[in-house]
Amino acid sequence: MKHKGAFLVIIMLFLLTRLCLGIDKNTEHKASVVIPDVALLSLQFDGNSNIEFIGTSSSVAGSKIEMGGEATADIWLNYSSVCHKNQKRKVTATVVGEVPEGVIIKVKADNSVGTGKGELGKTNGTVVLSNNPSDVISGIGSCYTGSGAHNGHLLSYQLEIDEEMFYQASENKFASVHVVYTLTDDN
């Protein structure tokens, strides 16, 4: 019995020593997660991305020239955005080149469709394009639209003629402009 008691005391001392040695013997290291600031924008399309408005002349004297009113060429605006909390972004459109006098070009971005997630932007409806940036989509937070055609915002274009100005200043010429889209902070 003496051996059993001594054996039990030795085991208890061993466990107590082990427990005492284990106290305050923790170790640690720092782990950081860094999420980059992301602002990516692209135009995706099936086929050709060019939009053409071709005027048609009437065969009746005294009739006005008709310009195609609206064009949709399956151009999709895709973006990915990671930004700071409470920060928003927007997409602007700017015309590069000279729009003939009396011609008004407009663009409309539909609501986002497809596989996107997050705080997607809201369309600003139909906006007039000029050499100054026009807000097309606003309120973009951290999100992505999905990539490729049939994801993001479908763009459609309209052409209007200010007849008074058009007929006074028009020439028989070809005019080509580029529409440049920019994803920028909305501050």
| Nearest partner of 102 among 63, 58, 64, judged by Cα | 64
Q: How far apart are CA 52 and CA 60, in angstroms?
A: 24
- Percent residues over pLDDT 70 in the chain: 84
Contact 99, 139 (CB under 8 A): no
Positions of the chain with pLDDT under 50: none
The pLDDT assigned to 107 comes to 94
Q: What is the pLDDT of residues 51-106, one digit of tens each?
A: 877 777 777 887 777 766 666 678 999 999 999 888 999 999 999 998 888 888 99
pTM greater than 0.85: no
Give the DSSP H or E segment for 15: helix 2-22
Within 8 A by CB and 6+ apart from 172, the residues are none
The pLDDT assigned to 62 comes to 77
The pLDDT assigned to 165 comes to 78
The pLDDT assigned to 21 comes to 59
Contact 161, 106 (CB under 8 A): no
Contact 69, 104 (CB under 8 A): no
What's the DSSP call for residue 16?
A: H
Q: Which two tokens stand for residue 80?
A: 């990915």
